[in-house]
A = this chain, B = another copy of it.
Amino acid sequence: MPNEKRTAPSGRRLKLIVAYDGAGFSGWQSQARGDTIQDRLEAAFLQITGQQIRVHGAGRTDAGVHAFGQCAHVDLPPNRLAPEVLAAALNASLPAKIRVLRCSFVSKNFHARFAARGKVYRYRIATTPVFSPFELGRAWHVSGTLDDKVLRACARAFLGRHNFAGFAANRGHAVESTMRTIRRVRVQRTPDVTAIEFDGDGFLYKMVRLMVGATVRAALGKTTVAEVRARLADGAPAEPRLVAPAEGLTLVRVRY
């Protein structure tokens, strides 16, 4: 018995990279009502370990939002399972729309949320006259021509450190600071899809969807780049505006 105690590894912190198709889920965060990604992951850990284990995500994604590389950590009870075995066991228990891409053991100093140094989000807009069945739930269908110059000018306007209060939805509680830095914005266009990727140190609630909503309104000629720039320079909470729909948004990766 003392031997067994000595050789049994102590509880370890496991880091997970998770991909999910957000369609049909109520977002990341556990809820009393609703089927969330966190709930599904915790159910999978319960099945494997027999214990209730709390999954800590790098950030909450809203209902319908996708992830190529959400990051999370859990503290596992003592066990000898290799990370690859844990990933395979989790995937065997999870629905196919949620996949653990990688697992690794990390130091107890690592925290998926508090150690995050930034995130990359991609927003996809389908611009075909008819909305493709293959973009359903994965893009925002915008009919009308998006002016390329305006689109790129708006994207550039968000670059750098700004007070994004005018591009945040009120979550019902005050945020410490609404200053955020966007390090890179990339616009990629094909005849069918326009993708805008934002790399920033952090994002306020619905910030990407509000930036995209403002960008699309300007690119459709319903507002101007100057108005978008003014709202950013103003740094004050703005009146209700166009929030681009959740299904176009994907959390690409979390930077540490």
Contact with B along A127-152 (1 / 0, CB 8 A): 00011111010100000000000000
Closest to A17 in B: B130
Residue of B nearest to A128 (CB): B101
C-beta contact mask, A41-66 vs B, less than 8 Å → 1, else 0? 00000000000000000000000001
Which of B97, B98, B100, B133 is in CB contact (< 8 Å) with A99?
B133
* In contact, B136 and A96 (Cβ under 8 angstroms): yes
Q: How far is the CA of A21 from the CA of B138 in the complex (A)?
A: 13
Q: Cα distance A98–B134 when bound, in Å?
A: 10
Q: Is A131 in contact with B96, judged by CB distance below 8 angstroms?
A: yes
CB distance from A147 to the nearest CB of B (A): 24
Across-interface contacts of A163 in B (CB, < 8 A): none
* Contacts A20-B133, A97-B136 supplied; 9 other A-B pairs, CB < 8 Å: A19-B130, A19-B134, A21-B133, A21-B136, A66-B134, A96-B133, A96-B136, A97-B133, A99-B130
